[in-house]
Copies of this chain bind each other. A is one copy, B any other.
């Protein structure tokens, strides 16, 4: 059932039927309802490709997943972000498309995705420091939004981000105020921009307190449970183990907790732990009482906002660049306490 067929059935032209269905004013209301009824009756649905061809819009938003970082797509944080975005897309009649693209040709992928008319806009996730993809997208003139920011990139661009620096500074400050001096940072991958900012916040708090951080207590890697566990185990074996640990993700914090448990240590008494809590749906930080003291910011909500901003951008390509900086909340649970006295 296509437009032509439907218009024949109705004894109207394709023009009129098309206009009736798309809400144009130059069609008699009686005719319009007749058309709508017939469309519903015959289950008519405009072919999205033909529509796209004619209008030049695809009503699809693209997310390009690097194949190399195998884990990106599978990262629960990524998942929650996308779930948020999907909600907004649905509300605005956009579909969401994923393309797996080899890292080597990320530019190629974006270019082909957009040029060939598959998507109206792109979401760039997990920006690194000096992220090259940003200028690629800028040059191409594709509407896009970055989840996060990229230190070192000069071109202006739309972004939404959590104030990572401030929230980690605050969390570190909190631990210092509790008397901790040996604090470990179990961070995300070093080349990720958010990891840098968190590290900066961490170090700033140390500076402000006039103490120096021990490089042996700074680690970074992909934020899995295993990584949190292994790193914590390693650190506990040090001659001078940390009295507090700051983890960049609740997932690695779970690994940390496992390590502590295995070593017979009690969180909040023997050692303090703060995690960054993205409010992952399947990994909530407790119910009433938080499991971990945490810097909290819903990544799902960020996804919703990002999608909104992107859609705005698509509708107004020439507006000045927009950005949105979310502040993380510091929620205090039982995983933190005063630094134990030196024995």
Contact = CB atoms under 8 A, between A and B. Distances in A.
Interface of A: 43, 45-50, 52-53, 58, 60, 65, 67, 70-71, 73-76, 78-80, 82-83, 86-87, 89-90, 95-101, 111-112, 115-118, 223-226, 230, 251, 254, 257-258, 261, 280-284, 286-287, 291, 300
7 interchain residue pairs of minimum CB distance: A90-B100, A74-B83, A49-B52, A45-B116, A73-B83, A79-B79, A74-B281
Contacts of A60: 97
Contact of A286 (B45, B48, B226): B226
Given A75-B282, A76-B76, A98-B98, A70 B53 contact: no
Contacts of A80: 74
Most central of A73, A90, A251, A282 by chain B CB within 10 Å? A282
Contacts of A226: 284, 286-287
Nearest to A58: B49
Contacts of A258: 257, 291
Contacts of A53: 47, 49-50, 53
A96 B90 CA distance: 16
Given A74-B83, A97-B97, A118 B48 contact: yes
A115 B45 contact: yes
Contacts of A224: 281-284
B73 A79 contact: yes
B74 A282 contact: yes
B282 A71 contact: yes
A74 B79 contact: yes
A248 B300 CA distance: 25
Nearest to A112: B45
B96 A97 contact: yes
A103 to B, nearest CB: 12
Contacts of A45: 111-112, 115-116
